C-alpha cells in the first residue's frame, strides 16, 4: 500500500541530495520515478533539483496551477514513486493532490522540505504535509555555530540576523544558516 512520506530538515540537512539518491536507486532497478520541485525555487534555474555538493537533475516545476495528479495519472509508464523537493513552498491544493496520488493511484509520494521558516513559523506546504503524511522523518544536521542539532533556519542580511519580513526569500548559504534554538535567539555573528 502506497504512503505519503514527509522528510524535513533545516537548511543543509541533505534533503536535495537524498531525493536525488532515492531517484537514482529506483531508476537503477529500472523503476521509473517522477521528480517534481517548486517553481518558486529558482536558485539553479526553475525546474531543477540541485544539491550543494554539485549534483543536479531536471524536475517538473510545480506552481499553484500545476495539475500534479493529472501528470502522474497520465504518465506512461506508471511511476513507481513520486518525489517532490521544496514541499514547503507548495499550496494546500498541491499537497491534497499528492494525497490523491497516494490514495487513488496507489503511488508512493516522498516529499522533502523545510518545516519552519526563519521566523519559526510553519510554511503552508509543510503544515499540510505534517497533517497528511503517513510517515514523517527529520533529516538532521548540526548548528552552523555550535555542536547542537540544527532545528531552525537563521536569515542573515548584511551580516545581521533578520527575524521579520516576507516568509519566502530564496537563498542559500549567503542568506540562511542552519542553527539550534540557542544560536537562533542569540547568534554569534561578528
Contact indicator for 22, 15 with CB cutoff of 8 Å: no
86 labelled catalytic: yes
Q: Is 81 helix (H, G, I), strand (E, B) or coil?
A: strand
Cis peptide before 179 (omega within 30 of 0): no
Instruction: Quote the CA–CA distance of 177 and 187 in Å, as a whole number.
Output: 10
Side-chain half-sphere CA neighbours of 24 within 13 A: 10
Pick the catalytic residue from 18, 27, 28, 86. Answer: 86
Q: Is 128 helix (H, G, I), strand (E, B) or coil?
A: helix
Contact indicator for 12, 23 with CB cutoff of 8 Å: no
Chain-centroid distance, C-alpha 27: 21
Contact indicator for 9, 153 with CB cutoff of 8 Å: no
Where in the sequence numbering do the catalytic residues fall?
Answer: 86
Amino acid at each position: 500500500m502506497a504512503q505519503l512520506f514527509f522528510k524535513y530538515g533545516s537548511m543543509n540537512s541533505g534533503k536535495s541530495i537524498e531525493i536525488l539518491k532515492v531517484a537514482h536507486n529506483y531508476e537503477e532497478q529500472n523503476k521509473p520515478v517522477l521528480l517534481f520541485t517548486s517553481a518558486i525555487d529558482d536558485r539553479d534555474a526553475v525546474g531543477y533539483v540541485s544539491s550543494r555538493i554539485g549534483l543536479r537533475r531536471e524536475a517538473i516545476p510545480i506552481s499553484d496551477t500545476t495539475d500534479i495528479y493529472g501528470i502522474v495519472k497520465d504518465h506512461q509508464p506508471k511511476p513507481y514513486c513520486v518525489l517532490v523537493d521544496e514541499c514547503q513552498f507548495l499550496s494546500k491544493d498541491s499537497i491534497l493532490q499528492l494525497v490523491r496520488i497516494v490514495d487513488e493511484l496507489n503511488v508512493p509520494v516522498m516529499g522533502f522540505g523545510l518545516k519552519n521558516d526563519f521566523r519559526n513559523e510553519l510554511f503552508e506546504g509543510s503544515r499540510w504535509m505534517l497533517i497528511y503524511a503517513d510517515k514523517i522523518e527529520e533529516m538532521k544536521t548540526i548548528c552552523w555555530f555550535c555542536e547542537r542539532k540544527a532545528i531552525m533556519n537563521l536569515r542573515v542580511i548584511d551580516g545581521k540576523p533578520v527575524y521579520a519580513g516576507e516568509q519566502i526569500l530564496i537563498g542559500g548559504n549567503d542568506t540562511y544558516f542552519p542553527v539550534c534554538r540557542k544560536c537562533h535567539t542569540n547568534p554569534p555573528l561578528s
